[in-house]
Amino acid sequence: MTAPTTVHVPFVDLQPMNSAVKEQVLVRIAKMIDDGDFTNGQAVAEFERHFAEYSGRRHCVGVSSGLDALRLSLLAGGLTASAGVIVPASTFAATVEAVLQAGGTPVIVDVSDDDYNIDTGLSELAAGAASFIMPVHLYGQMAHMRELSRIAKAHDLQIIEDACQAHGARRDGLRSGSVGLAAAFSFYPSKNLGAMGDAGAIVSENDELVAKARAIRAHGEVRKYHHEYSGYTARLDTIQAIVLLEKLPLLAEWNRQRQAAAHFYTQALSGLDGLQLPRQPDGSDPVWHLFVVRSPHPEQLAAFLRDRGIQTGRHYPEPVHLSPAFRSLGYASGDFPVAEALAREGLSLPLFPGITEPQLDKVCEAVHEYFRGT
């Protein structure tokens, strides 16, 4: 029996980030237990204040996941039954799930090869079939929000930003989450700002949207046992708010470490025949949630790296329009060629705060070795 390969470079290692806050988190949780402050506790309101400030918004509504943040943003933002919501073909399934669960109709468009975000020209062509547009800041790089804002204004569209992978990203002087009617963030444990479980948030300037989202996250209550809306159990857990409060002040440094690792990869892997590195348009300042390279045979490259103790990921090998879950939308292979090529060719290299230079060196040496032999 062959012995398993030793992992020398994990795809993601959460231990450095979690250990940095562990002691204070445990102190706060002990106090929460003593106080019995379990649901919508003081830590939730405290985190909402701090994350709103971080995002450049007046309001933050803590919720239980990124999907809840997207769905509640649409519901509270006034999405009507069957109304169109423009979404990109390259995204995690939650983007499309949120539209369907909110009663809307996903209007999928292809992405740009420049940044893998929603194609602005195609978005404008689709504007007549929609009342909302939900750009995704994929892999930690902001979409072209200045152009999308122009399109939204010209065609009377509301913008809900899917910023679930882009905490702190900037482009053209704008910060992720600061542009649309509302923005949704995920705090899944591996995100740039990650909880120790599922968590999410909505940020917005709109008082009416925020009030409705706060109600919908807790059974539609506007006051105790008075249900103005049909709602959900979608509150941000107090324990996760405690974790996020401790991690938020460290996010800027963690993002800087991600950016340094991405720069290392870019310098070390540039010029390899057969490997396409992610592009960074002028004016874009990504936070590199993921570093996705492209190769004609990503599974073969992944296996080669795995044999050398290097873990990788695929984000995402199945574009949403070709997923069986969304077959009823009626899209087919060939409809969105850029997204489909990215799905076929994309491979995510290890990248996380705390990744060491020797680990980065090992990844790059192995990638060079692979391409020397192909």
Which candidate, 275, 260, 263, places its Cα nearest to that of 347?
275
Lookup: tokens for 119:
């194609």
List CB contacts of 80: < 8 A, sequence separation 6 or more: 103, 131
**Which pLDDT does position 5 carry in this prediction?**
63
Q: Which residue has the tokens 């790296």?
A: 305
**Which pLDDT does position 348 carry in this prediction?**
99
Helix (H) or strand (E) holding 204: strand 200-204
Rounded to two decimals, the pTM is: 0.97
Contact 311, 281 (CB under 8 A): no
263 shares a domain with 120:
no
pLDDT digits (tens, 9 = 90+) for 17-60: 999 999 999 999 999 999 999 999 999 999 999 999 999 999 99
Quick one: CA torsion of 185, 217, 198, 65, rounded to 10 degrees? Answer: -40
**Domain closes at, from 219, 249, 279:** 249
Tell me whether residue 326 is in a domain: yes
Is the pLDDT at 2 greater than 60, yes or no? no
170 shares a domain with 316:
no
**CA–CA separation, 64 and 217 (whole Å):** 9
Domain limits at 358?
A: 250-372
Tell me whether residue 153 is in a domain: yes
**Which pLDDT does position 374 carry in this prediction?**
74
Q: What is the mean pLDDT of the chain?
A: 97
- The string of DSSP letters for 129-192 reads G-SEE--B-GGG----HHHHHHHHHHHT-EEEEE-TT-TT-EETTEETTSSSSEEEEE--TTSS
**Which pLDDT does position 138 carry in this prediction?**
98
**Which pLDDT does position 357 carry in this prediction?**
97
319 shares a domain with 201:
no
pLDDT digits (tens, 9 = 90+) for 195-221: 999 999 999 999 999 999 999 999 999
138 shares a domain with 226:
yes
Residue 114 belongs to a domain with what CATH number? Answer: 3.40.640.10
357 shares a domain with 238:
no
Q: If you average pLDDT over residues 215-232, what whole number do you get? A: 96
305 shares a domain with 224:
no
149 shares a domain with 279:
no
Q: If you average pLDDT over residues 91-104, what whole number do you get? A: 98
83 shares a domain with 63:
yes
Cα Rg of the chain, angstroms: 21
Tell me whether residue 23 is in a domain: yes
Helix (H) or strand (E) holding 105: strand 105-109
225 shares a domain with 262:
no
**CA–CA separation, 133 and 126 (whole Å):** 10
Is the pLDDT at 352 greater than 60, yes or no? yes
Which candidate, 364, 372, 366, 352, places its Cα nearest to that of 10?
352
pLDDT digits (tens, 9 = 90+) for 271-307: 999 999 999 999 999 999 999 999 999 999 999 999 9
Tell me whether residue 350 is in a domain: yes
228 shares a domain with 298:
no
**CA–CA separation, 166 and 107 (whole Å):** 23
Count of domains observed in the chain = 2
Contact 176, 161 (CB under 8 A): yes
**Domain closes at, from 249, 273, 308:** 249
Is the pLDDT at 250 greater than 60, yes or no? yes
Residue 351 belongs to a domain with what CATH number? Answer: 3.90.1150.10
**Which pLDDT does position 183 carry in this prediction?**
98
Lookup: tokens for 296:
């004609």
7 confidence band (pLDDT: 50, 70, 90):
confident
Tell me whether residue 10 is in a domain: no
**Domain closes at, from 249, 276, 304:** 249
pLDDT digits (tens, 9 = 90+) for 134-154: 999 999 999 999 999 999 999
Contact 185, 177 (CB under 8 A): yes
282 shares a domain with 240:
no
1 confidence band (pLDDT: 50, 70, 90):
very low
pLDDT digits (tens, 9 = 90+) for 303-344: 999 999 999 999 999 999 999 999 999 999 999 999 999 999
Is the pLDDT at 264 greater than 60, yes or no? yes
Q: What are phi and psi of 45, to 5 degrees?
A: -60, -40
Tell me whether residue 198 is in a domain: yes
Tell me whether residue 1 is in a domain: no
Which candidate, 175, 228, 172, 214, places its Cα nearest to that of 72?
214
Tell me whether residue 303 is in a domain: yes
268 shares a domain with 141:
no
